[in-house]
Structure 1
Amino acid sequence: MDTYETKIYIALLIGGSILALLFIFFVVSLMKHQKKNVTLYKEKVQAEINTLENERSRFVSDLHDDFGPVLSSVKLHVASLSPSSPEDEALQQKSLSLINDMLSQIHQIANNLMPNALRRKGVVIALKQFADDINNTGKINISVTSESNELNVVKENEIHIYRIIQEAIHNTLKHSKAERMSINFKEAPGEIHFTIDDNGVGYNYDAHRKNSLGLGLKNIISRVEMLNGEIFIDTAVGKGTHYSIIIPNAQN
Structure 2
Amino acid sequence: MSIVQRQIVWGVGASLVFLLFISGSYMVVFPPENWIQLWDKELMGIPFLLFVTTAAIAIGIIFGVMTGYSWKKQIDALETSFDLFDENSKKDHSISNSLEEISGLAKKIKSLQIQLMEQTKLSQRLVNEQAENQEVRVQTIITQERNRLARELHDSVSQQLFAASMLLSAINETRPKSDNRETKQLELVEETIHQSQTEMRALLLHLRPAALNGKTLKEGIIELLSELLQKVTLDISWELEEFQLDKGMEDHLFRILQESVSNTLRHAKAKKLEVRLMKREAFIIMRIVDDGIGFNVEKRKAGSYGLQNMYERAAEIGGKLKIISLAQKGTRLEAKVPLLTNKER
Provide TM-score, normalisation by structure 1: 0.53
C-alpha distance in structure 2 between counterparts of 1:236 and 1:196, whole Å: 10
Q: Which residue of 2 aligns with 1:39?
A: 133
Pick closer, same or farther for the CA change 1:219–1:39 going to 2, 3 Å: farther
Q: Which residue of 2 aligns with 1:166?
A: 258
Q: Which residue of 1 aligns with 2:317?
A: 232
> By how many angstroms is 1:17 displaced?
1.2
For residues 1-252 of structure 1, the aligned pairs below 5 Å read 5-83=99-177, 85=178, 88=179, 90-91=180-181, 94-95=184-185, 97-114=187-204, 123-129=220-226, 136=235, 144-145=240-241, 147=243, 163-167=255-259, 183=277, 215-216=305-306, 219=309, 231-235=316-320, 242=335
Tell me the alpha carbon deviations over residues 38-67 of structure 1, each in whole angstroms, 9 at most, x when there is no partner. 110121122123312321232232234223
Pick closer, same or farther for the CA change 1:167–1:75 going to 2, 3 Å: closer
Q: Number of residue pairs matched? A: 198
C-alpha distance in structure 1 between counterparts of 2:311 and 2:104, whole Å: 53
Q: Of the two, which has the highest radius of gyration?
A: 2
Pick closer, same or farther for the CA change 1:16–1:171 going to 2, 3 Å: farther
Q: Quote the RMSD (CA, aligned, Å).
A: 5.3
- Give the partner amino acid of 1:51: E
Unaligned runs of 5+ in 2: 1-96, 268-273, 290-296, 324-332, 339-345
Pick closer, same or farther for the CA change 1:237–1:161 going to 2, 3 Å: closer
C-alpha distance in structure 2 between counterparts of 1:70 and 1:100, whole Å: 8
Tell me the alpha carbon deviations over residues 205-247 of structure 1, each in whole angstroms, 9 at most, x when there is no partner. xxx9xxx99622665699x8xxxxx933444999x975769xx
C-alpha distance in structure 2 between counterparts of 1:37 and 1:181, whole Å: 39
Q: Which has the higher contact order (CA 8 A, sep 6+)?
A: 1
Pick closer, same or farther for the CA change 1:80–1:234 going to 2, 3 Å: closer
Identity %: 13
